[in-house]
C-alpha cells in the first residue's frame, strides 16, 4: 500500500496528488497506519478511507455507502471504533436505503443525539464504552422517521415521534406504558451509567440511584430506538428476559410483539440471537385491542406518578404522571375515544384521579395545539365551583387561572366576585403571573379597569392593597 505525503501537492498535477494524499485504500498493510504501540485496526481490507482537515474529518466507504465522520479534534487515533460504527450504520441503513444516514459527529459534550440537518440525518455520538449502543439507538430514530414517523418538509413541522405510518407500533407503545413494560428494552438495562434522583416511598422523600440511559417511555420513537438497539446488539439478553418464567404475562406479550415487529417489518426476517423461539409467530398474529389501551390509561391514572417506582419518568411525570405520555399522542391519533376517557375521569369517584386529570388537562391545553379545550373548559369550571373536595376545587381554579387561553376570563370573573378573599387572590395571581412571565399590552388593558376599581373603591382594605401592588407591577412591566 502506498501512503502519499501531502507534500506531493507541490509536484505537477498538484490538485490530483493533493486529493490522493488524503485518500487511503485499506488493505492487509493497514497496520502501517497504526502509531507505535497502537491497537490493530478493525476496518476490513478494501474499505476506502479519506482523511481531511488534519484528521478532524474522516470519510469511510465510497459512493452511496460513504459515511462522513466529523469532530473538533483528531479522529484518526480512533479508526477502530469508527470502523465498527461504520459497519453498524451501513447495516442499519439497509431498511432506509431511500434516505440513509451519511453523517456522524463525534462529540465530547453530547453522549448521543439524532437530528435532521438540511434534510440529512445527523448522528451525534461520544466515543465512550457504549458508543455502539448509542449508535444503534440513534440509528433507530432515523429508521423510525423514514418508515413509521411523520413527513419532514420546510413548510411543516411534524411531530415525528408519533408512529403516523403504522398504528400497530403506536399501539405497542401505548401498551408498553402499562406496568412499565418498556423496561424490557430500556437502554439502561444494558449500560452502566447512573444518576441520583429524588422521589417518594411510603410517603417519605428519599434519594435513590437510578439508571438513566435511554427513555423509551417518552414516545413511540424513543421506544422504537431503544428496541432497535436491544434487538440488534443484545438479542440474547432480551430473549432471556422475555422467556424468564417469572416475567408477567403482560411483559412477555409485549416483548414478543416488539421482537416479531422488528424481525418482520424492519429487519426482513433477520434476527441476531442464537435462535428465534418466536419463528412460529408472524406480524399478523400481533393484535392489540383498543379496550386494552383504555385499561392501560386507567391503570396509569390510578398510579402515583411521584413514587420511586416511577422515578425514571423524567421530567414530565415529576409533575403530571406517566399518563401524559399516553394521552398526548392518543389525542393526535383519535380524538373521540380518548376525549370520552378524559371526560369520564374528570367525573371519577376518586378525588385523586379528578385532581390528577385537572393538572393533565391544563398541561395539554397549554402544549397540544389539537387539544379540544372547548370541551374541557366548562367541566373545569364546574369542578372549581361544585366539587365536594376542596383540593379538587382549588386545583381546577388554579388550572383556569393559569391557562394562557382561559386565564384572563376567569381572573376577571374572580376580580368581580362578592367574596373579598376571592378578589384578593385573583389580584395576587395576576401580580405573580406578571413577575414570572411578564404581560403584553392587550392583556394588561383587559385587567386595568378592574384593578383600578378595586384599588380605589373596594370596601376591603386587603383587596385595595393587593390591587395597588398589582397595578404597580403591571405598569412597571409595560415600561420595559
- Within a domain: residue 91? yes
Same domain assignment for residues 136 and 202: no
Query: Do 80 and 197 reside in the same domain of the chain?
Result: no
42, 136: one domain: yes
- pLDDT tens digits, the chain, 480 residues: what are they? 332 223 223 333 444 334 444 444 443 334 334 333 333 345 667 788 888 998 999 999 988 899 999 999 999 899 999 999 999 999 999 999 999 999 999 998 888 899 988 889 999 999 988 899 999 999 999 999 999 987 654 444 556 788 989 999 999 999 999 888 888 998 877 765 544 555 556 666 766 555 555 788 889 999 999 999 999 999 999 999 999 999 999 999 999 999 999 999 999 999 999 999 999 999 999 999 988 998 898 888 876 554 445 544 444 444 566 788 888 888 877 778 888 888 999 999 999 889 888 988 888 887 776 678 888 999 999 999 999 999 999 999 999 998 888 899 999 999 999 999 999 999 999 999 999 889 999 999 999 999 999 999 999 999 999 999 999 999 999 886
d(CA 302, CA 310): 13
Task: Specify the pLDDT at position 170.
Answer: 95
Give the span between the Cα atoms of 13 and 397, in whole angstroms.
Answer: 78
Helix (H) or strand (E) holding 125: strand 120-125
Q: Is residue 188 part of a domain?
A: yes
Q: Distance between CA atoms of 275 and 91, rounded to whole angstroms? A: 20
Residue 390 lies in a domain: no
Give the Å distances, CA to CA, from 76 to 31, 51, 80, 98, 368.
13, 8, 9, 30, 46
Boundary (domain end) residue, out of 333, 354, 376: 333
Beta strands in 160-283 (DSSP E): 194-201, 204-211
**Beta strand ranges found along 12-98 (DSSP E):** 23-25, 48-52, 57-60, 67-70
Q: Of 93, 123, 147, which closes a domain? A: 147
Q: Are residues 66 and 127 in the same domain?
A: yes
DSSP state of 35: P
Interatomic CA distance for residues 214 and 221, integer angstroms: 11
Nearest to 435 by CA among 476, 401, 406, 404: 476
Cβ(66)–Cβ(102) below 8 Å: yes
Residue 277 lies in a domain: yes
- 172 with 263, same domain: the answer is yes
Residue 285: Cβ within 10 Å count:
11
Return the pLDDT at 361.
86
* Residue 470 maps to a domain: no
Within 77-119, strands assigned E span 103-106, 112-117
Sign of the four-CA dihedral 153, 156, 157, 158: negative
Q: Where are the beta strands (DSSP E) in 138-212?
A: 194-201, 204-211
Q: What's the CA gap between 158 and 165, in Å, rounded?
A: 13
> How far apart are alpha carbons 396 and 444 in whole angstroms?
24
Domain finish residue from 147, 177, 195: 147
Neighbours of 318 (CB within 10 A): 15
Q: Is residue 442 part of a domain?
A: no
Residue 336 has phi, psi (to 5 degrees) of: -60, -55
Q: Assess if residue 432 is contained within a domain.
A: no
3-state secondary structure 449-470: HHHHHHHHHCCCHHHHHHHHHH
243 phi, psi to nearest 5 deg: -90, 0
**Cis amide linkage into residue 315, ω under 30° from 0:** yes
Within this chain, do residues 248 and 173 fall inside the same structural domain, yes or no?
yes
| Angle, helix 351-367 to helix 373-386, in steps of 10 degrees | 140
Whole-model pTM: value is 0.78
Q: Is 85 within the bounds of a domain?
A: yes
DSSP state of 65: G
Q: Are residues 50 and 192 in the same domain?
A: no
Sole residue written with cell 421506544: 223
Secondary structure class of 229 (helix, strand, coil): helix
Per the structure, the complete domain to which residue 206 belongs is given by 157-333
- Both 143 and 49 in a single domain? yes
Overall domain count for the chain: 2
Count of CB atoms within 10 A of residue 81's CB? Answer: 19
Under 8 Å between Cβ of 144 and 225: yes
Instruction: Give me 59's grid cell.
Output: 470519510
Same domain, 104 and 195: no
Please tell me whether residues 141 and 248 are part of one structural domain.
no
Cα distance between residue 353 and residue 126, in whole Å? 42
Contact 343, 379 (CB under 8 A): yes
The 8 Å CB, 24+ separation contacts for 468-472 are 469/431, 470/427, 470/428, 470/430, 470/431, 470/434
Considering the domain architecture, whether residues 104 and 182 belong to the same structural domain is answered as: no
Q: Are residues 63 and 19 in the same domain?
A: yes
Contact 332, 369 (CB under 8 A): no
For residue 116, give the DSSP letter: E
Q: Describe the crossing of helices 131-147 and 79-92 by its angle, rounded to 10 degrees.
A: 30
Amino acid at each position: 500500500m502506498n501512503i502519499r505525503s501531502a507534500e506531493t501537492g507541490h509536484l505537477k498535477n498538484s490538485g490530483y496528488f493533493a486529493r490522493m494524499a488524503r485518500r487511503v485504500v485499506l488493505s492487509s498493510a493497514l497496520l502501517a497506519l497504526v502509531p507505535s504501540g497502537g491497537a490493530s485496526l478493525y476496518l476490513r481490507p478494501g474499505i476506502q478511507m479519506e482523511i481531511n482537515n488534519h484528521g478532524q474529518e474522516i470519510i469511510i466507504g465510497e459512493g452511496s455507502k460513504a459515511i462522513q465522520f466529523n469532530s473538533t479534534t483528531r479522529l484518526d487515533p480512533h479508526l477502530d471504533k469508527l470502523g465498527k460504527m461504520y459497519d453498524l450504520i451501513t447495516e442499519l441503513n439497509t431498511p432506509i436505503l431511500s434516505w440513509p444516514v451519511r453523517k456522524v459527529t463525534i462529540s465530547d459534550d453530547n453522549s448521543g443525539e439524532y437530528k435532521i440537518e438540511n434534510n440529512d440525518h445527523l448522528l451525534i455520538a461520544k466515543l465512550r464504552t457504549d458508543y455502539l449502543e448509542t449508535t444503534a439507538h440513534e440509528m433507530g430514530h432515523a429508521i423510525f422517521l423514514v418508515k413509521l414517523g411523520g413527513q419532514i418538509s420546510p413548510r411543516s413541522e411534524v411531530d415525528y415521534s408519533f408512529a403516523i405510518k403504522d398504528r400497530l407500533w403506536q399501539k405497542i407503545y401505548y401498551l408498553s406504558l402499562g406496568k412499565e413494560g418498556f423496561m424490557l428494552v430500556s437502554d439502561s438495562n444494558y449500560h452502566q451509567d447512573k444518576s441520583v434522583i429524588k422521589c417518594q416511598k411510603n410517603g417519605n422523600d428519599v434519594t435513590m440511584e437510578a439508571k438513566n440511559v435511554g427513555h423509551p417511555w417518552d414516545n413511540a420513537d424513543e421506544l422504537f430506538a431503544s428496541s432497535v438497539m436491544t434487538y440488534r446488539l443484545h438479542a440474547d439478553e432480551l430473549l432471556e428476559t422475555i422467556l424468564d418464567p417469572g416475567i408477567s404475562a403482560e411483559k412477555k406479550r409485549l416483548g414478543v410483539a416488539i421482537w416479531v415487529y422488528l424481525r418482520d417489518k424492519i429487519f426482513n426476517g433477520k434476527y441476531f440471537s442464537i435462535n428465534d423461539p418466536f419463528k412460529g409467530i408472524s406480524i399478523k398474529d400481533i393484535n392489540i385491542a383498543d379496550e386494552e389501551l383504555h385499561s392501560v390509561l386507567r391503570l396509569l391514572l390510578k398510579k402515583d406518578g411521584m413514587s420511586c417506582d416511577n422515578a425514571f419518568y423524567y421530567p414530565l411525570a415529576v409533575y403530571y404522571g406517566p399518563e401524559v405520555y399516553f394521552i398526548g399522542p392518543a389525542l393526535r391519533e383519535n380524538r373521540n375515544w380518548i376525549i370520552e376517557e378524559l371526560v369520564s375521569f374528570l367525573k371519577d369517584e376518586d378525588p385523586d384521579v379528578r385532581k390528577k386529570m385537572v393538572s393533565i388537562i391544563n398541561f395539554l391545553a397549554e402544549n397540544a395545539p389539537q387539544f379540544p379545550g372547548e370541551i374541557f373548559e366548562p367541566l373545569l369550571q364546574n369542578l372549581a365551583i361544585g366539587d365536594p373536595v376542596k383540593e379538587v376545587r382549588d386545583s381546577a381554579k388554579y388550572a383556569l387561572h393559569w391557562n394562557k387561553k382561559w386565564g384572563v376570563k376567569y381572573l376577571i370573573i374572580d376580580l368581580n366576585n362578592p367574596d373579598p378573599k376571592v378578589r384578593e387572590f385573583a389580584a395576587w395571581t395576576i401580580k405573580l403571573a406578571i413577575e414570572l412571565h411578564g404581560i403584553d399590552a392587550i392583556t394588561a388593558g383587559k385587567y386595568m379597569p378592574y384593578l383600578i376599581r378595586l384599588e380605589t373603591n373596594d370596601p376591603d382594605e386587603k383587596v385595595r392593597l393587593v390591587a395597588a401592588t398589582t397595578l404597580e407591577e403591571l405598569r412597571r412591566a409595560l415600561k420595559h
